[in-house]
Amino acid sequence: MNRLSALIITISLIAGVLFLNLIASELDFRIDTTRDSLYSLSSQSKDILDRLDEEVLIVHFYIQNDPRYTPTLELLRDYQRNSPYVSVELYDINSNPSVADRYNVRFQGTTIIRKGDRMTEVYGSDEVSISNGIYQLLHQSDKKIYFTGGHGEFDILSRVSEDHLELEGEEDRPVFLHQRQGMLMLKETLELMNFEVEKLFLQQEGRVPDDADLLVIASPIEPFLPMEINAIRQFLGRGGNLLVTLRPFLDGGLSSLLHDFGIHPQNNMVIDFGNHFWNDAMAPAVGSYEDHVITQEMPLTFFPGIQEIQLADPLPSNLNAMILFSSTEQSVTVQSQSEIEDLQSRSIAPRSYSLMAVAEVDQEQFSNRLAVIGSGGFATNEYLNYLGNRRLISNTINWLLAEEVLLDLEPATYELPVINLTNRQLRNTFMISSLLIPSLFMLAGFFIWVKRRRE
């Protein structure tokens, strides 16, 4: 190859690279090669964008010379890339004070999201905040949910503390650490879905408020008083809807009320040796469901401590009820905590047990919807973000409120990832990481030392 040919090829390659760069600079496209897709929208955010049917305007105010806002600007452009309905306007708050006054914005980092004549203001500059803001505009609801208190129920006002995720490039991302045995995360999820949530003490109020659309009884320990049961019956008599979650061996004094709707708690505990969470047979896992709008495309769920639920046979004529899922055929039940210790010495024929029931009651002027789950622990702060647990409780509540359009769609949330290990797994992890692996290195070093001595 002569020098002229080499020069032509070199010039052609340089021209080709420059041409490709010019084309790439005009394309609003990028590829995220990070393992955890740190620079791409999550599937939840994309699901929310897919629900849009009209224009959404995102207006963000920042300071141009502040490098902290660079990731936010790229994030907002990603929203625009992922939906033809999203348009983004970016303003330096110092050089555009008239625009800031128009939206009544006083601080940098503020985001205004507008859809039609509705508008919401977001102060966070992360994906969770932006997606939740869009979600609030997407979901218009004035429905109200009351959670009962005073009987040892899981508390929707449980404690929360704030920390920060210490990963490369993620130092400023907030992490919220919730009290495990509470339901504040569920409350936050429902509020992000534009439901109003309050706590109700029936002992004090004496009745369920008239603005209640759904009453949730989250795994009571102490039984409800007769006057409280009557108040719940009156609420259902007005067309209200009811969600009850239970604990093993306890019905909270609700059996007589639930019997009216063909649902019979068994006050036992289901132990599933066929399918369970990690090594805990007392936390049955469910991957197969009956066909219902609540369970469509439902992933695996699990229930740390759950009792059996049965349906009356026959059911009242005005009642349409069904079991949504059950344990495997390798399950047994115990009637008390003491029986668990003697389980191996007892001869119990395993079989499947029903775990969740839903019912629709046709009244003369209205209809009720009820759902009863033998466990409430799956929806607590400790387990809500695992597998399909959040989707199950969200879908159930949406169905009870006749909000089927929102099924399977949840607001984006972020929690510090935690791995729970059993005692055996902790012991094995310690043995492998702290004893076995160092011992292998020491042994290899000894053999190398011996070999070199012989040489």
Q: Do 371 and 287 fall into the same domain?
A: yes
Q: Does residue 418 lie within any of the structural domains?
A: no
Q: Give a yes or no: residue 388 inside a domain.
A: yes
Q: Does a structural domain hold residue 455? A: no
223, pLDDT greater than 70: yes
CATH number for position 58: 3.40.30.10
Clarify whether residues 166 and 275 are in a common domain. yes
* Residue-number span of the structural domain to which 132 is assigned: 43-138
Are 341 and 197 part of one and the same domain? yes
Question: Once rounded to an integer, what is the mean pLDDT over residues 122-137?
Answer: 80
Which contiguous run of DSSP H or E holds residue 427? helix 423-430
Nearest alpha-carbon partner for 292 in 396, 394, 409, 402? 396
Residue 64's identity, in one-letter code, is Q
User: Which position has the higher pLDDT, 188 or 22?
Assistant: 188
How far apart, in whole angstroms, are the C-alpha atoms of residue 290 and residue 299? Answer: 13
Mean pLDDT of 335-356: 85
Give the mean pLDDT of 157-179. 53
Average pLDDT rounded to a whole number, residues 241-265: 96
One domain for residues 240 and 132 = no
More confident position, 71 or 223? 223
Mean pLDDT throughout 227-246?
96
Q: Which helix (H) or strand (E) holds 310?
A: strand 309-311
- Which is nearest to 122 in space by CA: 140, 136, 143, 139? 136
- Residue 21 pLDDT > 90, yes or no? no
Checking if the pLDDT of 23 tops 50, the result is yes
Confidence of residue 434 (pLDDT cuts 50, 70, 90): confident
* pLDDT score of 212 more than 70: yes
Q: Which of 70-79, 185-194, 280-289 has the highest mean pLDDT?
A: 280-289
Residue 376 forms part of a structural domain: yes
Q: What pLDDT does 172 receive?
A: 47
The arithmetic mean of pLDDT across residues 18-30, rounded, is: 63
**Tens digits of per-residue pLDDT, 408-425?**
555 555 554 555 544 455
Q: What is the pLDDT of residue 32?
A: 57
**What pLDDT was estimated at residue 30?**
59
Give the residue among 184, 166, 135 at the shortest CA–CA distance from 416.
166
Shared-domain flag, residues 130 and 279: no
- Lowest mean pLDDT of 13-17, 167-171, 211-215, 371-375, name the range: 167-171
State the average pLDDT over residues 392-419. Answer: 72
Q: Is the pLDDT of residue 167 over 50?
A: no
CATH number of the domain at 263, please. Answer: 3.40.50
Q: How far is CA 175 from CA 40, 109, 126, 192, 389, in A?
A: 19, 19, 12, 17, 20
Same domain as 393, residue 337: yes
CA 370 – CA 146 distance, rounded (Å): 14
Burial class (CB in 10 A: 0-12, 13-18, 19+), 226: exposed
Q: How many domains does the chain have?
A: 3
Q: Does 6 reside within a domain?
A: no
In terms of domains, do 335 and 217 share one?
A: yes
28 domain-assigned = no
Domain membership flag for residue 16: no
**Of 106 and 177, more confident:** 106
Residue 171 has pLDDT above 70, yes or no: no
**Considering the chain, what percentage of its residues have pLDDT values greater than 70?**
85
214-218 and 196-200 as β-strands: parallel, antiparallel, unpaired?
unpaired
pLDDT at 245: 98
Residue 415 lies in a domain: no
Beta strands, E only, 314-439: 319-326, 331-334, 354-362, 367-373
Asked whether residue 299 falls in the same domain as residue 214, the answer is yes
Give the confidence band of 192 by pLDDT, cuts at 50, 70, 90.
Answer: confident
Model confidence pTM above 0.75: no
Asked whether the predicted pLDDT for residue 253 surpasses 90, the reply is: yes
- 331 and 437: one domain? no
Q: Which residues pair with 200 in a beta bridge?
A: 148
The answer on pLDDT for 313 being more than 60 is yes
444 and 350 both lie in a single domain: no
Shared domain for 363 and 281, answered yes or no, is yes
Quick one: pLDDT at residue 225?
Answer: 96
Mean pLDDT of 285-310: 93
Do 150 and 128 lie in one domain? The reply is no
